[in-house]
Amino acid sequence: MTRQIVQRGATMLSKPAKPVSDIKSVHMLAEELREAMRENDGIGIAAPQIGEPFRIFLVAKELLAEETRRLVPSDVFINPKIVKKSFKRNVLEEGCLSVPGVFGNVPRSVRVTAEAYDLSGNKFRVAAEGLLAQIFQHEMDHLEGVLFVEKAKKSTLHRITEEGKVEPWKF
């Protein structure tokens, strides 16, 4: 059964996640994250979003452009760190599975380099730009207990109603 996505307002989403001490112990969690991400049409998901307080996130590699997909050795990022960020930033629209239907513009570094471990315990490093860099920063925010709506330019936050109407959204 697919795990429910934890929604904005839940304490779990506002606390920093704990490091994973035993990589072998997160294989099932990674599968649950993968299933929840696919079931909810996400492009990334962090463990706190399904109620688990651990430093792990997944990226839907299959949704990335082919040349970007080849750069990413694993869709699972355990104990990730962003080790380098560009000074240049873009303001990009984001949404989140934990704040459904809400979108807003968030300033993000154009390029980042992330380090993490895969499910076999191998350390890897990925230099990313564009969408992948945005995903890394968004998911790392989750691991620090921060939602995108906290970083978004408040005037850009909007909600899309079930009828498809766009209306301002107040945080």
Residue 150 half-sphere exposure toward CB, CA atoms < 13 A:
12
3-class secondary structure for 38-105? HHCCCCEEEHHHHCCCECEEEECHHHCCHHHHCCCCCCEEEEEEEEEECCCEEEEEEEECCEEEEEEE
Catalytic position from the list 94, 139, 150, 163: 139
Q: Does the active-site annotation cover 139?
A: yes
Instruction: Tell me the catalytic residues.
Output: 139
